[in-house]
A and B are shown apart, each in its own frame.
Chain A
Amino acid sequence: MKVEVNGGKCVGSGQCVLISPEVFDQDDDGTVVLLEESPPPQQHDAVREASMVCPATAIKLIDS
């Protein structure tokens, strides 16, 4: 699984950070920061949920 984030779309709701803090963080403006471009399998469920819950559809997942 490869993760892409779109900072331009991000509204800073922070839900990705709450759901999957190993993979997502926020910069000083509250915009998403991707910590892990290819997260390990044990993170996949959380990353999928984060992508679904994101209000701005700023998280794109590419399943390998």
Chain B
Amino acid sequence: MSETTIRDHGDDSIDDSTRALIQRLTGGADRLTFPMQRSVPFDPPPEYAELRSKCPVAPATLHGKNTWLVTRYDDVRSALQNEALSSDIMDPDFPLSPALRAVVEADGPGVGSFLKMDPPVHDELRRMVTRDFMIKRVEALRPRIQALVDGLIDDMLAGPAPADLYTALATPVPNTVICWLLGVPQEDHEFFQSRTNYFFKRDVPPQLRLEKSTELTNYVYGLVDQRMADPDLDPEADIISRLVHDQLRTGNLDRRTVQGMANLMLVAGHETTGNMAALGALALLQHPEQYRALGEDPSLAPRAVEELMRYLTINDEPNWRVAKQDTVIGGQPIKAGQAVKVLTFSANRDEGHYGDPDVLDIHRTVRDHLGFGYGIHQCLGQPLARVELQVFYATLARRIPTLRLAVPLEKVSFKTDANIYGVHALPVTW
């Protein structure tokens, strides 16, 4: 069947073969919905491959809005560069769940901060914190991260088996490190870990979501205010101190904006890396010859991280945009006001771009994956995430070569209910 171009999402000019495809994929509906169910544990929804070949830019309905799903690698990359596509969460056409709309209406971009803004404001804010995540800075943290991982492994090995790798190792690493960078006290980790969980669960009632996000917002305001009032504030102490000193005290930014930036980095630095650490460990355990190879040759770690980022693409969901003006993606006209969702997981498994895309191979060199996104919003923390994950996987494989799942794979609980994929827990033994 040849690929189709749909002329207009809103009317009946979708041809019969596309309509038939969509009805087959959805079990009878006229439009695709999102998200689609992953093929647990590691593979994409089966619909993705069909869409790539038969309808690469496909009509869907998302929160009641006409949305285009972009599935091919080249089109996803190009869409993430396309200046007609906006990240402005305050745009009334931006597709939001009721829970998120409630939060945004109460609080503005809030924890979305510059991730949910367009240039020029996005660029101005992001530039204020780029230095904290640059290569030299994060490389300087590597020994400290190594010591952190070793200490957590010591603790886990000294305790009973089975243990939950997710809570014992995977989440404490990124949580601790982002707290170093932001100047958050160690004793407060548990508090905001539980609050940030609510950002990533999918079907949270709006009122509960707002309540939890408000608790987190107030906590971060506390961090900002404490520094604002400190007569001996050291701007070099941490990121929040520097933002307060350079931007808040000078009146360049307001208190709400500084809080939003700090909150974004706090939230973004947690769930994503923690999920990658645990899910990646599981993927390696399911490919024992590769786990062993990594244990014997830690120089494989950088390649392993990139390949796991590609293979797992845990951030497939939250990549939405709204068209500010008419544009074209993959030959498909997009009208101003319509939403676009790029399926980075589909792109990262695109057989038109990667050979054997559904095979995990940590020996391949893949630096062009879209696991960190692409374009001006590409993950700010990626250099830090890379170091954390390289240290995590290499140390695990070297120090616990006999690591294995303590339950059958079918008993592992996956985060199919959240917009960042991962595991709820990972029971392991050694």
Interface set of A (CB-CB < 8 Å, partner B):
11-15, 17-19, 26, 28-31, 49, 52-53, 55-57
Instruction: Tell me, rounded to whole Å, the shortest Cβ–Cβ distance linking B10 to chain A.
Output: 32
Q: B376 to A12, Cβ gap below 8 A?
A: no
Binds A, one of B132-140, B225-233, B253-261, B338-346: B132-140
Q: B376 to A29, Cβ gap below 8 A?
A: no
Q: How many A-B pairs fall under 8 Å by CB?
A: 56
Question: What residues of B have a CB within 8 angstroms of the CB of A13 in the complex?
Answer: 372, 378-379, 382-383
A–B complex contacts, Cβ < 8 Å, 7 sampled: A11-B376, A12-B134, A18-B135, A18-B367, A18-B383, A26-B136, A56-B376
Instruction: Tell me, rounded to whole Å, the shortest Cβ–Cβ distance linking B344 to chain A.
Output: 13
Number of interface residues of B (CB under 8 A): 22
A52-B368, A53-B367 in contact; A30/B133 too (CB < 8 A)?
yes
Q: A28 to B131, Cβ gap below 8 A?
A: yes
Instruction: Tell me, rounded to whole Å, the shortest Cβ–Cβ distance linking B254 to chain A.
Output: 22
Q: B376 to A55, Cβ gap below 8 A?
A: yes
User: Does B219 make an interface contact (CB < 8 A)?
Assistant: no
Question: What residues of B have a CB within 8 angstroms of the CB of A14 in the complex?
Answer: 133-135, 382-383
Pick the contact of A53: B127, B134, B368, B383 (CB < 8 A). B368
Q: A30 to B367, Cβ gap below 8 A?
A: no
User: Does B222 make an interface contact (CB < 8 A)?
Assistant: no
CA distance A59 to B374 in the complex (A): 15
Listed from nearest, the 3 A-B pairs whose CB atoms lie closest are A30-B130, A12-B130, A55-B378
Pick the contact of A11: B80, B130, B136, B367 (CB < 8 A). B130
Q: B376 to A30, Cβ gap below 8 A?
A: no
Q: B367 to A12, Cβ gap below 8 A?
A: no
Q: A11 to B126, Cβ gap below 8 A?
A: yes
User: Does B81 make an interface contact (CB < 8 A)?
Assistant: yes
Q: B367 to A19, Cβ gap below 8 A?
A: yes
Sample of 16 further A-B pairs with CB below 8 A, known A13-B382, A13-B383, A26-B134:
A11-B126, A12-B127, A13-B378, A14-B133, A14-B134, A14-B135, A15-B382, A18-B367, A18-B383, A26-B136, A29-B127, A29-B130, A31-B127, A31-B130, A49-B367, A55-B378
Instruction: Tell me, rounded to whole Å, the shortest Cβ–Cβ distance linking B142 to chain A.
Output: 14
Question: What residues of B have a CB within 8 angstroms of the CB of A55 in the complex?
Answer: 80, 373-376, 378
Question: What residues of B have a CB within 8 angstroms of the CB of A53 in the complex?
Answer: 367-368
Question: What residues of A have a CB within 8 angstroms of the CB of B379 in the complex?
Answer: 13
CA distance A7 to B378 in the complex (A): 16
Bits for B97-138, please: 1 = Cβ < 8 Å to A, else 0.
000000000000000000000000000001100110111100
A14-B383, A52-B368, A57-B81 in contact; A26/B374 too (CB < 8 A)?
no
Which residue of chain A lies nearest to B132 when distances are taken between CB atoms in the complex? A30
Question: What residues of B have a CB within 8 angstroms of the CB of A11 in the complex?
Answer: 126, 130, 376, 378, 380
CA distance A13 to B126 in the complex (A): 11
Within 357-416 of B, Cβ neighbours of A (below 8 Å) are at 367-368, 372-376, 378-380, 382-383
CA distance A21 to B127 in the complex (A): 22
Within 310-341 of B, Cβ neighbours of A (below 8 Å) are at none
Q: A56 to B375, Cβ gap below 8 A?
A: yes
Which residue of chain A lies nearest to B135 when distances are taken between CB atoms in the complex? A14
Listed residue (B80, B134, B378) with the most chain A CB atoms within 10 angstroms of its CB? B134
CA distance A45 to B376 in the complex (A): 24
CA distance A17 to B135 in the complex (A): 8
Question: What residues of B have a CB within 8 angstroms of the CB of A52 in the complex?
Answer: 368
Q: A30 to B375, Cβ gap below 8 A?
A: no
Question: What residues of A have a CB within 8 angstroms of the CB of B136 in the complex?
Answer: 26
Which residue of chain B lies nearest to A11 when distances are taken between CB atoms in the complex? B376
Which residue of chain A lies nearest to B138 when distances are taken between CB atoms in the complex? A14
Instruction: Tell me, rounded to whole Å, the shortest Cβ–Cβ distance linking B370 to chain A.
Output: 10
CA distance A60 to B272 in the complex (A): 32
Question: What residues of A have a CB within 8 angstroms of the CB of B378 in the complex?
Answer: 11, 13, 55-56
